[in-house]
Structure 1
Amino acid sequence: MDALAEVEFLARSKNRVALLRLLATGRYDRGELATEVDVSQATLGRILEDFEERSWIRHEGDGYVATATGRLVATGIGELLDTLAAEQTLRGVVRYLPTHAMDFDLRRLADAAITTPSRSRPSAPLQTALDLADTATDLRAFSHTFNEQSLATVHDRVTSGEQTFAGVFSRQAYTALADDEEVWQRTLALIDAPNAELRVREEGIPLAVTLSDDRVNLLLRDEEGLLQAALETTDAAVLAWAGETFDHYWRTATEVDRETASRLETTGQSPRE
């Protein structure tokens, strides 16, 4: 049988997939297999017979274990399932993903929470970032924008001593903040706060990410800059990527102090000039 036929053979029964993946982890007897996968002995017997015909499993003592090729197939079908799970999660927002800047396996987003706007909750994606900012004790951010609501939440948490904050933003983000005097004064207060540090990156930042010790939030915008979705995950690999990416932008950015802020506000001059 060709490879597609074997994929079809496995795909027709979730019990086949579950049993093969289980047997790839070690030896199990028939009773343990029936309990773990919740199948009848008759169904179990047919599946084991099919697996033995394909040399995917072998007897070992009074139990069964996957062969080398059985483990290979189990790994392959597991990776395919992970791929399809991630694709289903991301299908509705893939057009907004800045994948050129997301240096990790997209399958790590299979369990991510996706929040999109609705008629009753048009600001739902932004609220996920605000919720993270409102609960984290140690918050980092890198973004091409820093909106008024996020700034207000971080400002209140930082100035009350409940949060430490490190943020690196594009120059355009600071220019936008300076357009409103009240917002700019709040920005200056954040710059002055001892437990906050802001930097500006001249080369720009193609992402809008906030992260704490256990969560990453990514805001997704369309080509016109309109917020279309938020993606949130606790996956360890994505957390590591976000931390490393923050460190890169931080190293290649300039500290924003009062003097730098004044130049950004009044002239749009590069802080390196």
Structure 2
Amino acid sequence: MLSRNTRSPIDDIEFLARSDHRVTALVALAERPRSRADLQELTEASTSTIGRTLREFEHRRWIRRDGHQFEATQLGAFVASGMQDLIELIETEQTLRDVWQWLPPEASGFTLEMGTDAVVTEASIDDPYGPVNRFASLLRETDRFRFVGFDVALLEPCKDELSRRIVDGMDTEIIDPPSVARYIISTYSEHCAEPLESGHLTVRLHDDLPAYGVSLFDDRIGISGYNANSGTVQVFLDTDAPDAREWAESTYDSYRREARPLALETAIE
């Protein structure tokens, strides 16, 4: 219902979005009072452009003037906050647009909002091992590491460093499909023997793991997405967001409760 204001909400959104300096100026005025010169320096817009913008803001009752200073009204601050939220939402969507298909489905509880402020490393022609290298950099900085999922494409390239870190004391628990554990132990027996004997590595087995991987480090969590056609890690997303951490811990624990110790898998003994 539009009441006396016949302007559509889209009209005001379009007005703000048509030029970068308008959102910047309104957000700045919501923070504290500023002069025309302040806004011109902040936005790098011309004096005449700032003047027109301020007149439009005043017409919409988004700002008030006090001498040479301007500040946002409660209405203006409300709009500024909403536009900031919208911009962050679109930025997150743009970041995840090309890799979303490789990440956990919505049914898993993982949401797009959890990707806000995440570091997203996608494999490319120029850098096919980018996701693996990003994972390795986080592995070097953690004292405790947990992983659940199909891990060959992610952990195999890091086998030397992973083995060394475990032997040096990194507390590690990995939940694997039986076929993957069998492959790793038979193919890399020398890499596995010392870590398994060190007391710092626990391997558990689960018959129905997700197509993606979940890594838990000390301060961040990571999600690795696999390209089934190439057998490589297509994307590695990592974040320290509390809601993403809660999701990762819950996901890991749910699979761990159903997993069995490696020693009970007679096919690998």
TM-score by length of 1: 0.78
Distance 1:85 1:41, change over 3 A: same
Q: Aligned pair count? A: 260
**Partner residue in 1 for 2:136:** 130
CA-CA distance at 1:89 after TM superposition: 1.6
Deviation at 1:59, TM superposition (A): 3.1
CA distance in 1, matches of 2:137, 2:79: 42
Q: Tell me which residue corresponds to 1:112.
A: 119
Distance change (3 Å), C-alpha of 1:235 and 1:23: farther
Taking structure 1 as reference, are residues 68 and 169 closer, same or farther at Cα in structure 2, changes over 3 Å only?
Answer: farther
Work out whether residues 219 and 227 of structure 1, in 8 Å CA contact, stay in contact via their aligned partners in 2: no
Give TM-score, length-normalised by structure 2.
0.79
Q: CA deviation at 1:182?
A: 4.3
CA contact (8 A) 1:174 1:264 kept: no
Tell whether 2:155 aligns with 1:152. Answer: no
Task: Point out where structure 1 has 5 or more consecutive residues left out of the alignment.
Answer: 267-273
Give the % identical residues: 22
Q: Secondary structure of 2:77's match?
A: helix
**Aligned partner of 1:265: which letter?**
I
Q: Does 1:18 align with 2:21?
A: no
Q: Aligned-pair distance for 1:188?
A: 4.6
Q: Distance in 1 between matches of 2:41 and 2:101?
A: 43
Q: Following the alignment from structure 1 to structure 2, what is the Cα–Cα distance between the partners of residues 95 and 203?
A: 20
> What is the aligned partner in structure 2 of residue 271 from structure 1?
none
Aligned equivalent of 1:269:
none
Deviation at 1:52, TM superposition (A): 0.9
Judge conservation of contact 1:214–1:239 (CA < 8 Å) in 2: no
User: Does the residue aligned with 2:209 lie in a helix, a strand or coil?
Assistant: coil
2:216 to 211, 216, 224: 211
What's 1:245 paired with?
Answer: 250
Any idea what the Cα deviations from partners look like across 1:79-113, whole Å, max 9, x if unmatched? Answer: 22112212222222222222333524436345523
Look up the match of 2:149. 143
Say which SS state the counterpart of residue 141 (structure 1) adopts: strand
Q: Please state whether the residue corresponding to 2:188 is helix, strand or coil.
A: helix
Cα distance in 1, alignment partners of residues 118 and 252 from structure 2: 25
Tell me the C-alpha RMSD between the 2 structures. Answer: 3.0
In structure 2, the residue matched to 1:103 is 110
Q: CA deviation at 1:205?
A: 3.3
Please name the residue that 1:171 is paired with: 178
Tell me how far 1:51 sits from its aligned partner: 0.5
Give the stretch that moved more between structures: 6-15 or 140-149. Answer: 140-149
| Contact map agreement 1:145 1:172 (CA 8 A) in 2 | no
Per the TM alignment, residue 77 of structure 1 is displaced from its structure 2 partner at its CA by: 1.7
Cα pair 1:168 1:249 within 8 Å, conserved = no
